Structure 1
Amino acid sequence: MASRIWIIGGSTGIGAALAKAYLDEGYQVLISARNEERLITFAESIGCQYMPLDVTDRDSCINAWAEICQECMPDKVIISSGTHQEMPATEFNADNCESLMQVNYFGAVYLLEAILPTYLKSGGQIGVISSLAGYRGLPYASSYGASKAALINLCESLRVELEDSKVDIRLINPGFVKTPLTDKNQFQMPALILPEQAAAEIVKGLKGRSFEIRFPKLFAATLALLRHLPYKLYFPLVKRVTKR
């Protein structure tokens, strides 16, 4: 019997590219997303199963997992749901922060709450897509970056505890990927890649053993280096590089 994968946020961007890639790998693919019309249209176009889901609804996440497992428990889950909205300091507001945190962070939390008890017993792999933007604070990304930083911290914490369990949790940190979300950006995005390239990196990475899957490699390595710079060097550098 073919392996089964559940991809949340699977109707656009990286999630949609992953759905196609795993179909090519011979998986039974189930995708979920909040926009039901777009979800159905895409799922039918590539020939995979679908289940509408709003990740900000905790009960819906729990019920969706229970329903999926009644049919056939997935061997692998990828949490790719997320949203982005720039927020300059002059427009700083709690509503934006709360909205992004609800989707990007708590959406993953609700899904993990549902999935972990099952996988702790039976085993399984969970890929959580965060972002390189979560490494350090970046201009205009105080709400987005904070949500991704929280997600990185969450996955790191769980990885330590789950190391000797049957749960294989992975952290996925992409750089700039051309999606409907990044199309809104008003600045030049270095090392921009296509969703298909991102999907190929993720599929390959999840077959390997590394906890963190980050790409593109050179851009990711540069941002990783910036994590270690002292503030007196980091702030002037980032200001110069991101100046509009």
Structure 2
Amino acid sequence: MSRSRFDKFKTVLQQRQPDMALVTDQVHKAQNISAMLRTADAVGITTVHMVQPARGRLVYHHTAGGSSRFVTSIGHPSIEAALQAARDQGLKLYAAQWSERAISYRDADYTQPFALVMGAEKYGLSETASAEADVHLTIPMVGMVESYNVSVAAAIILQEALHQRQAAGHYQRPVSEGEGYHRTLFRWAQPKMARYCDQRGLPYPELDEDGDMIPPTDAAYRGRA
């Protein structure tokens, strides 16, 4: 690995926003899931909570441009479980949904911890997600169509979140380089070795200044170092 590539990993990781997440409420089309993972990576989201569709299963193509490697995706059996996971992170729920209490997406405060909840392609947001949401968001439109594609709508809203957070200095906040930081950096730089260690319960080896692994001496790593 080149030092510039490793430095890019560190720069990106330092700008991640752990208090911002995305929830997909039974979104099932692979291209939409992939596009939203790509957007999540672009704005610094660390976790996407995906609700298992009522029919079929969660799948997405490699059209995410490798973003699935840098964003943690967690599958949930129900929207209740996904929303609770977001709540457990201390996040408010912002749902893309037209209603009498909806506000323009530009008027929402994205500098506070939040999770954006996006509904399924054909049916939109579930009743549960709509009722549980703290804020409903709408995107102004003047054409014949009634809504944007779900991945496009997510990108529009999250770009506004990025804009607000950049202005507030959130992407320049000091990052604690604790164990979680170094584990994530290792997984990004050495994904195959990370999987090997995870499967066997082994600690991650040290990395040098170029992101290359310093060969461990423990016999448990033999054949992989």
TM-score, scaled relative to structure 1: 0.35
Over alpha carbons, which structure has the higher Rg?
A: 2
- Pick the structure with more helix per residue: 1
TM-score, scaled relative to structure 2: 0.37
Which structure has more relative contact order (CA 8 Å, sep 6+)? It is: 2
